[in-house]
Amino acid sequence: MILLGSTGSIGVNTLIVAKKFGISVEVLVCGKNIKLLNEQIKEHNPKVVVIADKEDISLVNHSRVYSGSEAILEIIEDASSSLVVNALVGFLGLAPTLKAIECNKKVALANKESLVACGAFIDPKQIQPIDSEHFGLWYLLQDRPVSKMIITASGGAFRDWDIKKLQNATLADTQNHPNWSMGQKITIDSATMVNKMFELLEARWLFGEGTNGVSEFDAIIETKSLIHALIDFKDGSTTAHLAHASMQLPIAYALNQKMDENILSHVDLLKVGSLEFREITTDRYPVWEIKKELLKNPARGAVVNAANEAAIEKFINKEIGFMDISKDIIRAFEKFTQLPKSIEEVFLIDEEVRAFVKGKI
């Protein structure tokens, strides 16, 4: 397989699962964590590696090392593996997703930003979702009419905070996720609830298309992250996908569709005792205000994604407070209303929205 983002949270879990199933690793791609990359090279013996910066090439213990985003695309084209696991973070993951699809490779997709920004131009048949909620929906889906798909949110780091204190929350505060251990950006997205908004879009692109496409999607908070997805069927039944909070189960299915062995221990409901559900409210999660409008026009995800990435950059640089991330997103959403008509337009909108949020236009 080709693994993009090998040193991240999903990347590391992917290598654990690949080892368990004896899946060979042809290409490793990462950013700046050369120390971990060197350990991965020793253990998985890839044929080629790609890193972010040219200056770091000499630090990598491998004879075939390339750098930069163009090199990622070239390697996807040249490599013989038919499976690309995309665990890059952010909009930079989109071009590799598109390249893998163009090369007719199967994409095991963790990089949700690909679908959020460009779902209108991606054929869901070429995607196997790694995101836990979409894996849950895929797992639950049967040949029966569905009335609604529901995904769950943990509520993020600030679900129990006094709302008045949220504006002054720090980057370190955002990283205290109650249930999952994940990369920095998605953990911020979880705290703003942008992650769940993105996941509604992801669900819409994956399951909302075609003649039997589902027309209603929503999210609720389940504080223990044991239920990941629910499906309301037209007949009045609701089914739920329960599993412990580990990405190894979705990854295992993405790498190996036939699963006849145990990956996780079962959830013991007697030990769990009780579950708590909460509504996602706009006072704590202001970005939820645009949910309805966004789901009506999911191609506007390109705007929301770009605004979110630019606002997060400002938050990390301490130029804005935590609640301003959502304000910036809403401001951009109100200003940019055009729908991209092509992939090229997605990239143009992305550039323009970033410039707007950063105050350059």
Ligand X SMILES: CC(=O)[C@@H](O)[C@H](O)COP(=O)(O)O
Question: What is the contact surface with ligand NDP in residues (CB under 6 A)?
Answer: 5-11, 29-33, 52, 87-89, 92, 110-113, 131, 180, 182-186, 247
**Is 199 flagged in the annotation as binding?**
yes
Which C-beta is closer to ligand NDP: that of 177 or that of 300?
177
Identify whether the C-beta of residue 107 lies closer than 8 Å to the C-beta of residue 84. Answer: yes
Residue length, the chain? 361
Cα gap 215→127, rounded to integer Å: 20
Cα gap 130→97, rounded to integer Å: 14
Which C-beta is closer to Mn ion: that of 76 or that of 304?
304
Q: Which two tokens stand for residue 353?
A: 């929205």
Which C-beta is closer to ligand X: that of 197 or that of 357?
197
**Is 113 flagged in the annotation as binding?**
yes
- Cα dihedral 222, 225, 227, 232 sign: positive
Q: How far is the CB of 200 from ligand X (least distance, A)?
A: 11
Identify whether the C-beta of residue 112 lies closer than 8 Å to the C-beta of residue 35. Answer: no
Instruction: Tell me which of ligand NDP, ligand X, Mn ion, none is bound by residue 42, counting a contact when its beta carbon lies within the kind-specific cut-off of 5 to 8 angstroms.
Output: none
The three-class DSSP label of residue 233 is strand
C-alpha torsion 115→118→122→128, nearest 10: -10
110 touches ligand X by CB under 6 A: no
Write out the H or E segment, with its range, that includes residue 85: strand 83-86
Interface residue with ligand X, options 14, 111, 128, 195 (CB under 6 A): 195
Q: How far is the CB of 322 from Mn ion (least distance, A)?
A: 21
Which C-beta is closer to ligand NDP: that of 110 or that of 214?
110
In angstroms, what CA-CA distances link 35 with 39, 48, 109, 355? 7, 16, 25, 34
Binders of ligand X: how many residues, by CB under 6 A? 11
**Is 274 flagged in the annotation as binding?**
no
Q: Which two tokens stand for residue 172?
A: 């370190």
Interface mask toward Mn ion for 126-155; x: CB under 5 A:
-----xxx----------------------
Identify whether the C-beta of residue 108 lies closer than 8 Å to the C-beta of residue 250. Answer: no
**Is 187 flagged in the annotation as binding?**
no
Instruction: Tell me which of Mn ion, ligand NDP, ligand X, none is bound by residue 183, counting a contact when its beta carbon lies within the kind-specific cut-off of 5 to 8 angstroms.
Output: ligand NDP
Q: Which residues are annotated as a binding site for 1-deoxy-D-xylulose 5-phosphate?
A: 112, 132-133, 154, 177, 190, 195-196, 199
* Sites of contact with Mn ion (CB under 5 A): 131-133
Q: Which residues are annotated as a binding site for Mn(2+)?
A: 131, 133, 199
